[in-house]
Chain A
């Protein structure tokens, strides 16, 4: 009994500092901020700081953005820097790439990444390759951003994750914030980055408040691209998570903690570059790996992580095969019940962890 509760205690002790891992150690000075507001703040601060930064996209100006992420920016910065475009994703992303080549710093908002498919040539074949093809003469400091992944009740053409698609492409950097702090810090880094950065936001997280420290609220706050964050420390299994996958993993960790299993949750933050060192260090500690993402399994983020493990000494650290928790391999159903089933949930993560730990769960709890 006493032993069983000790991991739970450990959980609470470890959780407090880890929550503020990359920010301030001062626990009291946090304020709830929605991801929408954090993204808005990031853009506002960077526009204030650098007048080469401008935003363009459908409905971003007077309408404040289809999801209100650019709220108030048109009023503040005017037509010159917050630009509503005609409906052509191909057109405005091409335009933004050109503006970046000519020295500006565009933020290109896609109403959703589903519509960015029309623009993917400019992202993959122009933005990502211009520096290489111009022999290092022309870089493209551009940010592509907008809601990505599952939304609610909008069916197959409006509800899919493109993280694996973009992160496959050399020349692009791809980030996926989970918290408001991630969102603000990563977007600001993306805007300042000399390379093209794809920022994949979760529509379903836009309205959620996350605590932000004073430090994170300051205009100097950045989250480095290419560094993962330990969202929760644990010693039994490593959960590597992308975007909203963190939410499911944290939910599962709570349940598992009740069974004496302590999950270590790695919030990837960046999908490319991938912070494999953090993953490897965690595997060396837990010896078990589960990946959690919302996208499809086939050639997905989890597949990439598992392959990297196979090709590295981390493989020898594993006590069991790694496991992937992903979205179901189907076009997103419109039906509410099927939609829920097609997406990962904490229960799926619990099941995966149980499978990976095998009979270890009973071993842990019977200690």
Chain B
């Protein structure tokens, strides 16, 4: 068998795939050569590190040995379901809630981005283009599943029930910020809602998520999984590889979800990696993998739902690569027109908007109309503006907070300092703007 015919065989093998049989694609890709060679009565090698057939023909594999991993989708750009069997059964209220969350993300992004520009907050990162990934994922999970985010996933927080007020309080670092004003804006966290606090160093959440899944797995009758978001850029960190490898070898119920939005700050994916994206790494490391259209909220929902069920039932990891486009600048410190064209941005903003697709889907089902849209957008906007004005007026965290939480038990030295401060403030209350801070 020469290289060309082998390659052909691989390609035809992949062509047989139907979208709804996508899960099989990965299995096929990773095992396809075996039966053919076995037919030749070739002996199987039994090395500890590889069980594979012996061959006499030397053959190098490369990225073009395989068809690209296909991209699963449910809807086309007009919100039409392509294969009715793939339409998820989501009740009407939830569908509307999903869309409302997406609109809310947009309004939050617009106004908070502006507020950074006006110097009201120090930093912000928008989520444009990835709203469907946030909402599709969260809707498919149980509220008890633990989610680790990277930073560009505000919709996950919103859909889990974190309020606009809580999010804006975090960005303003006032006394109602659940994070006590310790972090930069957008580093949200909510332990009670099973949302790990966002941490700045890239990809560190990945092995941590696997570790949390390992802890879940040790619980009797575990019915929870861990979901971990990461970017196409973060996927280059050593931690990403470690996370994949541990997830597989420790058999952890974790869903590793890559938001492949095409850029890491200015670095396009063409410079970030070679080969068939992040998804191709899954099968190579023994992880069940699927690639989905991240602008198709229903496709994300289906993929995450199945991934979750599988992960929990089998104690195994799943990798999902959700393809999208980072429509906004990387952050408020970036101007992306320096490294990409306005036409490119516009194409993705207009034709591939996850909001637009989902809205058309809802409209076709008779669940949504332009009046509702108008009212919803206005309400979302008003909520954000009002909440922001309130957040600005709220007091700052209690001064004692500055001594808390470095160690679980406050060291005696710090206790002493806190007491001194207390006495000092009692003595000189008029020397400090103490009324700007929350009192006990």
Within 8 Å CB of B264, what residues of A? 87
Q: How far is the CB of B127 from chain A (nearest CB, A)?
A: 20
**CB of A58 within 8 Å of the partner chain:** yes
Within 8 Å CB of A333, what residues of B? 182, 402
Question: What would 8 more interface pairs be, CB under 8 Å, given A58-B267, A86-B273?
Answer: A84-B267, A86-B233, A87-B237, A114-B201, A118-B238, A157-B199, A335-B173, A338-B402
The stretch that binds B, out of A4-12, A44-52, A148-156, is A148-156
**CB of B265 within 8 Å of the partner chain:** yes
Check B406 against A153 for contact (C-beta < 8 Å): no
Check A84 against B271 for contact (C-beta < 8 Å): yes
**CB of A276 within 8 Å of the partner chain:** no
Name B274's closest neighbour in chain A (CB-CB): A86
Check B237 against A88 for contact (C-beta < 8 Å): yes
Name A341's closest neighbour in chain B (CB-CB): B402
Name A153's closest neighbour in chain B (CB-CB): B122
Check A63 against B265 for contact (C-beta < 8 Å): yes
Name B185's closest neighbour in chain A (CB-CB): A334
Contact string, B260-298, partner A, CB cutoff 8 A, digits 1/0? 000011110001110000000000000000000000000
- On B, residues with C-beta under 8 Å from A are 122-123, 173, 181-184, 187, 199-203, 233-234, 236-239, 264-267, 271-273, 338-339, 396, 402, 406
A84-B267, A117-B201 as given contacts; A155 in contact with B183, CB under 8 Å = yes
A63-B338, A118-B238, A157-B201 as given contacts; A86 in contact with B182, CB under 8 Å = no
Contact string, A116-147, partner B, CB cutoff 8 A, digits 1/0? 01100000000000000000000000000000
Name A89's closest neighbour in chain B (CB-CB): B237
Within 8 Å CB of A91, what residues of B? 236, 238
Q: List 19 A-B contacts (CB under 8 A).
A: A58-B267, A59-B267, A63-B266, A86-B267, A87-B234, A87-B264, A90-B237, A115-B202, A118-B238, A154-B123, A154-B184, A155-B183, A156-B182, A158-B184, A330-B406, A334-B183, A335-B173, A335-B181, A338-B402
Check A334 against B184 for contact (C-beta < 8 Å): yes
**CB of A258 within 8 Å of the partner chain:** no
- Which among A87, A330, A334, A335 has the greatest number of chain B C-beta atoms within 10 A? A87
Residue of A58, A62, A88, A338 touching B238 (CB-CB under 8 A):
A88
Check A86 against B396 for contact (C-beta < 8 Å): no
Check A86 against B201 for contact (C-beta < 8 Å): no
Within 8 Å CB of B187, what residues of A? 155
**CB of A103 within 8 Å of the partner chain:** no
Interface residues on A, range: 20 to 34
Check A158 against B273 for contact (C-beta < 8 Å): no
Within 8 Å CB of A87, what residues of B? 202-203, 233-234, 236-237, 264, 267, 272
Residue of B202, B273, B406 touching A331 (CB-CB under 8 A):
B406
Docked Cα-Cα span, A235 to B308, in Å, equals 72
- On A, residues with C-beta under 8 Å from B are 58-59, 62-63, 66, 84, 86-91, 114-115, 117-118, 153-158, 330-331, 333-335, 338
Q: How many A-B residue pairs have CB under 8 A?
A: 77
Within 8 Å CB of A88, what residues of B? 236-238
Within 8 Å CB of B202, what residues of A? 87, 115
Docked Cα-Cα span, A59 to B406, in Å, equals 33
The 10 closest A-B pairs by CB, nearest first: A86-B236, A63-B266, A157-B200, A153-B122, A87-B233, A87-B236, A90-B238, A88-B236, A155-B184, A86-B272
Docked Cα-Cα span, A218 to B239, in Å, equals 44
Within 8 Å CB of A62, what residues of B? 266, 339
Name B269's closest neighbour in chain A (CB-CB): A86
Within 8 Å CB of B237, what residues of A? 87-90, 118
A88-B236, A91-B236 as given contacts; A334 in contact with B182, CB under 8 Å = yes
Docked Cα-Cα span, A294 to B238, in Å, equals 31
Docked Cα-Cα span, A154 to B234, in Å, equals 20
Q: How far is the CB of A314 from chain B (nearest CB, A)?
A: 30
Within 8 Å CB of B267, what residues of A? 58-59, 84, 86-87
Docked Cα-Cα span, A91 to B264, in Å, equals 16
Docked Cα-Cα span, A155 to B199, in Å, equals 11
Check B122 against A63 for contact (C-beta < 8 Å): no
Residue of A58, A158, A330 touching B200 (CB-CB under 8 A):
A158
Docked Cα-Cα span, A90 to B202, in Å, equals 12
Q: How far is the CB of A20 from chain B (nearest CB, A)?
A: 37
Docked Cα-Cα span, A335 to B273, in Å, equals 38
Within 8 Å CB of A115, what residues of B? 201-202
Name B264's closest neighbour in chain A (CB-CB): A87
Q: How far is the CB of A30 from chain B (nearest CB, A)?
A: 32
Docked Cα-Cα span, A51 to B396, in Å, equals 55
Within 8 Å CB of B236, what residues of A? 86-88, 91
Docked Cα-Cα span, A90 to B203, in Å, equals 12
Within 8 Å CB of B406, what residues of A? 330-331
Docked Cα-Cα span, A86 to B275, in Å, equals 14
Docked Cα-Cα span, A333 to B396, in Å, equals 13
A84-B271, A86-B273, A87-B202 as given contacts; A334 in contact with B266, CB under 8 Å = no
Name A94's closest neighbour in chain B (CB-CB): B238
Docked Cα-Cα span, A330 to B402, in Å, equals 9
Check B233 against A335 for contact (C-beta < 8 Å): no
Within 8 Å CB of B402, what residues of A? 330, 333, 338
Q: How far is the CB of B203 from chain A (nearest CB, A)?
A: 8
Docked Cα-Cα span, A111 to B285, in Å, equals 30
